[in-house]
């Protein structure tokens, strides 16, 4: 079974940048889709971004467009979420998820990482 390891979350100030990583253990990301989700206390989980391993069909939720960028490194078998100009409302536990094949907004994701905390505080 694929295992995902999310890392990179830190305590930062508004306007700072972070890069989150989602590394696959036990299986290659080849032919998979990978997504990033976040959940803040008292709120529902939010679908943040996603990418197919081919690098096409990239999705961003409206609140992060122009600030976040999702990418993948085939040689490292890792998906990244570059987060720029972070805002207070970006504070959340961030999770990566994966599934075999394509994704859409209603996709059931098969594998989930443990999450990494991003805290934006002035």
- Check whether 28 has a pLDDT greater than 90: no
- Check whether 116 has a pLDDT greater than 90: yes
The band of 60, judged by pLDDT with boundaries at 50, 70 and 90, is very high
Burial class from Cβ neighbours inside 10 Å (0-12, 13-18, 19+) for residue 69 reads: middle
Query: Which residues share a beta bridge with 25?
Result: 3
């Amino acid at each position: 079974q694929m295992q995902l390891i999310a890392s990179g979350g830190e305590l930062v100030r508004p306007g700072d940048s972070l890069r989150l990583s989602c590394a696959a253990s036990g299986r290659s990301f080849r032919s998979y889709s990978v997504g990033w989700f976040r959940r803040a206390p008292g709120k529902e989980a939010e679908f943040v971004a996603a990418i197919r391993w081919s690098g096409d069909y990239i999705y961003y939720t409206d609140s992060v467009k122009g600030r976040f960028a999702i990418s993948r490194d085939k040689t490292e078998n890792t998906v990244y979420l570059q987060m720029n100009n972070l805002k207070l409302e970006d504070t959340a536990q961030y999770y990566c998820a994966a599934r075999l094949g394509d994704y859409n907004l209603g996709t059931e994701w098969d594998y989930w990482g443990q999450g990494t905390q991003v805290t934006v505080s002035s």
